[in-house]
Amino acid sequence: VNGVSWLHGEVSKEILGDLWPGYFKNELHIGYVTNGVHFPTWTAMRLRRLYARYFPEGFEGHEYRISEWKKVYDIPDEDLWQERMVLKEKLVRLIRRRYCDPGQVRMDSPHQVMQVLESIKPDVLKIGFARRFATYKRALLLFTDLDRLAAIVNNKERPVQFIFAGKAHPNDQPGQDLIKRIIEVAAMPQFSGKIIFLQNYDMELARRLVQGVDVWLNTPTRPLEASGTSGEKCVMNGVLQFSVLDGWWVEGYKEGAGWALPMETVFSDPQYQNELDAEMIYNTIEEEIVPKYYDRDADGIPRAWMASVKKCIAEIASNFTTNRMLRDYEVRFYNRLAARKWELVENDFAAARELVAWKHKVLAAWPGVKIVDVQRARVGDKPIFIGRSYHFELTLDLAGLAPEDVGAELVVARPVEPDRVVEVIRTVPLSQVQVSGSQVTFALDYVPEQAGMFDMALRIFPQNPMLPHRMDFALVKWA
């Protein structure tokens, strides 16, 4: 019942929507809780100490106080920059250590090893890309135009280094081929020491990377990234995220605190879409990321970059901790589920037994329930007015059910068109106005509140206050 990001919730409704005929996708009980990451695990100790001097209430208690994170703006740029540079140096040292260990660089020629050792320096802008090499993550997108990429990494004044890491599943040949290609490109003379592939990706290496690079790149095929979490690890450390608007980044992205490729696909041909995305990635790196990083003041501090880093910590990182995630699970799902559980099990499952018996009864009777008469407000060609009242009536034959077993409602939707997802605007319940024999009549005086074109229809459904939501027992008949 829950996706792991807002977009994943939406996509899940698309995928699962047909399970409940009679209900539309935006009425489903599918919600979401966006993944978060464990702040103390993924945030560098040095940064946690620095943050604790300015906003301990933000993350030291049982409940994180997100608004406190704004105090990151009080940290002098120099201090935060200094810590960022220390973390980059640590990453550089780790890479050097690995390149001095033959077991860690089995793919690289001796010449390449020398080049990496020579060129890996903390003052070069570093862009990280580390993850499982599943093909939807499009690890090779960056290699769409190798000449352009070569110009970016080999810029004399403003060089860029790309650091790749990751594994593919042992049975995922296409995923393994991606890694092969990255290693191939990294070995080309123009990329030697500029594109680095680190072997043996694990949590330890992940931690160094998400703390030590400047920018984290993610380029999934939309909308296949359910959430993604490595970028969340980055933003806690003031590492700016550059990603397709997919998964958590749809909610995380704030202008000026990272970069985004649009959420919409423009081309149905994936080849064209890849080319367009690659083009936008190169442009963003050249025109936005590189200048922002290398523009320094007299003290050597990139002020605009630091403004982005602070905004990223204050307004993005604070919302993607496990603490916030668990709170959402409690409030949106667990508390209600727990309360319901106790209700159902009490007195040797009395409520559960009652509900099951009721469902059996309704299931058996439902085919016989008939809509006998419908009175709709007849408006013909005349306009409908906001604030005026329109009468609806619906009479049913209950086929042995009790009047309280059945509800009726008016469903108001945006105009329904073929091949378009139906968008329900609101549902308005009808009241029972008369019971006579096996028949019950419902009525509603509907007062439109919104201007525009709408489609409206009436439907009936079984009702019982013990049902957690409609989809739990999704029988529907339309009038």
Cβ closer to ligand PLP: 221 or 230? 230
Q: Please, what's the b/e burial string for 74-84 (b: 16 or more CB within 10 A of its CB; e: otherwise)?
A: ebebeebbebb
Give least dist CB 120 to ligand PLP, A: 21
Out of 202, 255, 348, 381, the residue judged to bind ligand PLP by CB under 6 A: 202
Give least dist CB 320 to ligand PLP, A: 12
DSSP 8-state class, residue 245: S
- 140, 166 in Cβ contact below 8 A? no
- 214, 125 in Cβ contact below 8 A? yes
Cβ closer to ligand PLP: 32 or 442? 32
Strand order in the sheet with 439-446: 370-375, 390-397, 439-446, 431-436
Span near ligand PLP by CB under 6 A; candidates 44-52, 84-92, 196-204, 326-334: 196-204
By CB under 6 A, is residue 229 in contact with ligand PLP?
Answer: yes
CA distance 113 to 372: 82
- Partners of 37 in the beta sheet? 321
Cβ closer to ligand PLP: 152 or 165? 165
Supply the DSSP string of 277-334, one letter for each residue. Answer: HHHHHHHHIIIIIHHHHH---TTS--HHHHHHHHHIIIIIGGGSBHHHHHHHHIIIII
Span near ligand PLP by CB under 6 A; candidates 107-115, 197-205, 392-400, 442-450: 197-205
Range list of β-strands (E), 369-479: 370-375, 390-397, 406-413, 424-429, 431-436, 439-446, 455-462, 477-478
How long, in residues, is the chain? 479
Residue window 118-157: x/- pattern of binding to ligand PLP, with contact defined by CB under 6 A: -------------xx-------------------------
Locate 49 and state its tokens: 């100490």
Number of residues that bind ligand PLP (CB under 6 A): 10
Give least dist CB 214 to ligand PLP, A: 17
CA distance 87 to 46: 9
By CB under 6 A, is residue 237 in contact with ligand PLP?
Answer: no
- 108, 222 in Cβ contact below 8 A? no
By CB under 6 A, is residue 239 in contact with ligand PLP?
Answer: no
Cβ closer to ligand PLP: 37 or 412? 37
Give least dist CB 212 to ligand PLP, A: 14
By CB under 6 A, is residue 228 in contact with ligand PLP?
Answer: yes
Give least dist CB 201 to ligand PLP, A: 6
Out of 18, 171, 173, 203, the residue judged to bind ligand PLP by CB under 6 A: 203
Out of 12, 112, 221, 230, the residue judged to bind ligand PLP by CB under 6 A: 230
- Which residues make up the interface to ligand PLP (CB under 6 A)? 131-132, 201-203, 206, 228-230, 233
